[in-house]
């Protein structure tokens, strides 16, 4: 559709700073939307009629944000939050659940999460048949080799090609101490058979058999030969001793080997994020390929999400403060995750014809204290706060209900 059309557009977003790394655009543009798709991008669409208009003056307009790592199988797992709290109500139009469902529990995930949410919900089901149902942190019971079934996983991917976009597995000391890389070898086979990426958790998680605890710096190198280009290693800026970078010394060789092999790095923010590691990596020019929140609750006692205080925009805000350039941050939350999902022709950019998913961020100025997972603290000067999202052409004002890290009164320093 050309911009000269005489029919009114459904919606025009006016005057925002559009940052769309997929098109290498960073500048002030108007965006026209019709029938749930991007219709036109133009420096000035003021002369065109539209059924509605929203002003984005002074705001940053990006393709709808994509969060590659959330946990949203609420009530079935011990840590699932409601999908829209991690999604549109946090400024995110597409979320990807990592490992909450498995081949035997995916039907419930489709019915009660994917179909019930406004947010677009995709999934990397767990490599085990059950997913992370209640008790999922008891690794040996749920994540052992007996609960992995190649045929079931291949069938699941074939049955749900729109929603199953990869598989979740774990490379950490607990599982290694129990069964080495046995589960990961099967995961790699499923990845090859389906052509889908693996998303690999790193950093100690499950109970460890001390007698067979692996050397902390051997864990990630043991996994790397099993991965293929396009697989994703999670928690790149974690300070866990058995994580990708570890705690001490220089950047380990495995980081360079992984990049050379085409393996991608994800933030997986939450409790795994360390400013110290982030600074070390950024100083070496090693940025995350994708930024995700790892949004989840802690519902082992009762269903209460009031302790959750991090978000995708919170991760983006911290990385901006640490010196990651804005266009790289936006790429890591739009076109990069869209490519991991094999959906780069549909989402992740504002190219005309693509789904009209847009996030409008307010860059709010003023000094704020923000913690990392180790309770280290930095002061940020610019917070990226979601003001509006557009989802397939529909305008939504995010409730920001679970965004205490960006909006909560406790973290605010005295206003300037």
Residue numbers at the binding site for Zn ion (CB under 5 A): 294
Q: In the complex, what is the shortest distance from the CB of residue 340 to Zn ion, in angstroms, rounded to a whole number? A: 15
Comparing CB distances to Zn ion, the nearer of 289 and 294 is: 294
Q: In the complex, what is the shortest distance from the CB of residue 37 to Zn ion, in angstroms, rounded to a whole number? A: 32
Q: In the complex, what is the shortest distance from the CB of residue 234 to Zn ion, in angstroms, rounded to a whole number? A: 7
Comparing CB distances to Zn ion, the nearer of 15 and 197 is: 197
Among residues 245, 231, 250, 240, the alpha carbon closest in space to that of 270 is found at: 240
Q: In the complex, what is the shortest distance from the CB of residue 8 to Zn ion, in angstroms, rounded to a whole number? A: 44
Comparing CB distances to Zn ion, the nearer of 67 and 84 is: 67
Comparing CB distances to Zn ion, the nearer of 85 and 294 is: 294
Bridge pairing between strands 60-63 and 358-371:
antiparallel
Comparing CB distances to Zn ion, the nearer of 294 and 405 is: 294
Comparing CB distances to Zn ion, the nearer of 294 and 355 is: 294
Comparing CB distances to Zn ion, the nearer of 202 and 411 is: 202
Q: In the complex, what is the shortest distance from the CB of residue 62 to Zn ion, in angstroms, rounded to a whole number? A: 24
Q: In the complex, what is the shortest distance from the CB of residue 69 to Zn ion, in angstroms, rounded to a whole number? A: 6
Which residue of this chain has its Cβ atom nearest to Zn ion in the complex?
294
Q: In the complex, what is the shortest distance from the CB of residue 288 to Zn ion, in angstroms, rounded to a whole number? A: 15
């Amino acid at each position: 559709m050309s911009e000269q059309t005489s029919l009114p557009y459904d919606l025009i977003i006016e005057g925002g700073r559009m940052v769309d790394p997929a098109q290498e655009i960073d500048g002030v543009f108007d965006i026209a939307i019709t029938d749930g798709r991007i219709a036109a991008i133009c420096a000035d669409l003021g002369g065109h009629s539209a059924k509605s208009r929203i002003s984005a003056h002074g705001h940053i307009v990006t393709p709808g944000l994509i969060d590659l790592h959330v946990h949203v199988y609420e009530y079935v797992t011990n840590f699932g939050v409601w999908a829209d709290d991690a999604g549109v109500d946090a400024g995110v139009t597409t979320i990807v659940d990592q490992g909450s469902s498995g081949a035997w529990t995916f039907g419930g995930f489709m019915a009660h999460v994917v179909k019930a949410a406004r947010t677009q919900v995709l999934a990397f089901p767990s490599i085990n048949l059950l997913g992370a149902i209640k008790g999922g942190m008891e690794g040996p019971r749920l994540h052992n080799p007996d609960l992995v079934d190649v045929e079931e996983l291949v069938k699941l991917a074939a049955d749900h090609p729109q929603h199953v976009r990869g598989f979740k597995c774990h490379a950490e000391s607990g599982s290694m101490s129990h069964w080495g890389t046995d589960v990961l070898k099967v995961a790699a086979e499923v990845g090859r058979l389906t052509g889908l990426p693996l998303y690999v958790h790193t950093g100690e998680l499950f109970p460890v058999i001390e007698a067979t605890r692996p050397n902390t710096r051997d864990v990630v190198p043991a996994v790397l030969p099993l991965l293929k280009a396009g697989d994703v290693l999670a928690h790149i800026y974690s300070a866990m001793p058995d994580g990708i970078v570890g705690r001490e010394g220089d950047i380990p060789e495995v980081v360079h080997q992984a990049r050379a092999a085409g393996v991608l790095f994800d933030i997986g923010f939450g409790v795994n994020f360390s400013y110290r590691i982030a600074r070390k990596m950024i100083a070496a020019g090693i940025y995350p390929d994708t930024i995700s929140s790892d949004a989840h609750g802690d519902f082992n006692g009762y269903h209460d999400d009031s302790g959750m205080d991090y978000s995708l925009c919170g991760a983006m805000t911290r990385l901006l403060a640490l010196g990651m350039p804005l266009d790289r941050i936006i790429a890591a939350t739009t076109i990069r995750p869209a490519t991991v999902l094999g959906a780069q022709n549909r989402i992740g950019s504002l190219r005309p014809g693509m789904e009209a998913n847009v996030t409008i961020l307010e860059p709010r100025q003023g000094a704020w204290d923000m913690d990392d997972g180790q309770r280290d603290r930095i002061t940020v000067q610019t917070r990226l706060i979601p003001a509006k999202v557009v989802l397939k052409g529909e305008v939504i004002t995010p409730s920001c209900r679970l965004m205490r890290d960006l909006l909560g009164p406790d973290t605010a320093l005295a206003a300037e």
